[in-house]
A = this chain, B = another copy of it.
Amino acid sequence: MDGARVEVFAPDGIGEIPAGTDLAVVAAPFVVEGDVVVVTSKVVSKAEGRVVAGDREQAIVDETVRVVARRGPTSIVETRLGVVMAAAGVDASNVAPGFLVLLPVDPDASARRIREGIAAATGHNVAVIVSDTAGRAWRHGQTDLALGVAGLHPLESFDGAVDSYGNPLAVTAPAVADELAGIAEVVTGKLGGRPLTVVRGLAGRVLPPTEHGPGARVLVREAGTDMFGLGTREAVTAAVAGHDQHLFGAPATVEDLLRALNACGLSARSRPDGVEVAASADARLSLLAFAHGWQVHAEQSGDSATTLVRLS
């Protein structure tokens, strides 16, 4: 039968991975030319000695660049890698009690090392993904995603492509590395002691041996370009505090600003020198402007009208 076909398998019997283990040697017996090898970040961390004794809460603080949202015991943070996940990827499961597994320091570099090691050991050109587990906005449950990638474009670009009717495609960049990490999670399971998965049948997507591609970093959206760079409460707190304006992104269009003002019952119109609001400048108007990358123009504002101008 014609079509596209891949095979995904996770070998048993790999067992515990002590610090100093060469994961390329572990993977080598299972791969052939053109495979994609998915290794859990847990195992990469163990092999790289990123297991520490210590206090989980303190480790989370140490690994956190920025708190994105927090409710009670749950904190969603930006890690040093730029990846947003719960508890900064600090994990106390599948490790001896009292110990913690931290994320690999540079998972793209880890993926490159494993890829090069497999090539050296076997002569086979493969791609390597270092995977981890994360929750999502809007949806229950967790999926595995790519924390490190070598030898594969993490985002497959269809920008400019058209369908068979000549329409431009709405989806321009499937995150294939995340999708491959996901199927590895399904096949390995969380309890099976299978730290390694091989995806066979995607040789056409594996880059030449000398090209590692841009790495999983291209999957990370910078906070300032993200509409969800803060939780709902944290966005209001940041606006009230007057902090972190860059997290709200580039200045809003006039249309978007007018829409927000109208939602607050404020009558407003666009003028050549800015947006004029039929209200005196007050705290609420300042907050709205702040969150939209605009500000009150003090000289052109009075008791009955306020002019907002874009933050430069």
Chain A interfacial positions (CB closer than 8 Å to B):
1-13, 30, 69-72, 76, 83-84, 87, 91-97, 133, 136-145, 154-155, 158, 161, 163-171, 173-176, 178-180, 182-183, 185-194, 202, 218-221, 226-233, 235-241, 243, 247-249, 252-253, 255-256, 259-260, 263-265, 282-284, 287-288, 290-292
Contact = CB atoms under 8 A, between A and B. Distances in A.
Copies of this protein in the complex = 2
Q: Which of A9, A12, A232 has the most CB of B within 10 A?
A: A232
A8 B5 contact: yes
Contacts of A183: 6, 8, 179-180, 182-183, 186
B69 A228 contact: yes
Contacts of A163: 93-94, 191
A182 B141 CA distance: 15
A185 B174 contact: yes
B174 A5 contact: no
B161 A190 contact: yes
A227 B4 contact: no
A237 B252 contact: no
Q: Which of A2, A76, A83, A233 has the most CB of B within 10 A?
A: A233
B170 A93 contact: yes
B282 A191 contact: no
A140 B221 contact: yes
Contact of A84 (B91, B138, B178, B263): B138
A221 to B, nearest CB: 5
B7 A3 contact: no
Contacts of A4: 9-10, 12, 187-189, 192, 194
Q: Which of A7, A93, A193 has the most CB of B within 10 A?
A: A93
8 contacts: A4-B188, A93-B171, A143-B178, A143-B182, A158-B191, A227-B232, A228-B231, A240-B287
A188 B2 CA distance: 12
A5 B3 contact: no
Given A169-B190, A191-B158, A136 B133 contact: no
A180 B183 CA distance: 6
